[in-house]
Amino acid sequence: MLSVHFLLQSFTVLLFAPKGYSYNGVKCNEDQTQTYGNFYYYYYSLYLTKSCSWSFIPPIESPNVEHVLLINMYGLHHGVTRSPPTVYLPNGTKFTSDLEHENSPPCFLLKKTHQTSCSEEQLKKYDCNNNTLVSISNQWPPQINATFGSITLELGYLFIPCIESTPQKDTVDTPIFSSWARKYCL
């Protein structure tokens, strides 16, 4: 179960699927019941604090499959009175984004364990830029905290096959399963 907690500075939070994609919606605190397929998460709340959890079912259990959470952070910062959006990882690392339009948003990977054969270089093939932080989450599923007035978070949950020898290109570049969530917060 992935737990995402948001401390909101605004009152309305909406979650939409990106245009051009057909996603199945999973409401807050409901389980994701499809092992294969894309879905998005959504909730609407008038409360200042909202806690949502979703369950993920891996397609296969293998010591050479890395469980990874990929997070893209698109910050929207308007005016001098509003604080820039901030995301906190389970290990306390803080990411802040305050650019109106970012060509290369902050992007980071959280992986479940260091016991697979996945190297950091293999994992970085799934990132959004070359500066991706790859870290191990002692808490799994990870919990992410965010404080913001206006932000877009894109979450991808991947199950990546890792091979010790040099794999062929099509083997590594496609994760077994991925789920994307694009969260638009107004």
Q: Answer yes or no: is pLDDT of 134 > 50.
A: yes
By the 10 Å C-beta count (0-12 exposed, 13-18 middle, 19+ buried), 45 is classed as middle
Q: Answer yes or no: is pLDDT of 132 > 70.
A: no
Tell me how crowded residue 123 is: count the other CB atoms within 10 A of its CB.
21
| 16-20, 35-39, 96-100 — most confident range | 96-100
Least confident window among 16-20, 61-65, 173-177, 178-182: 16-20
Over residues 66-89, mean pLDDT: 63
Global confidence as pTM: 0.52
| Per-residue pLDDT at 138 | 72
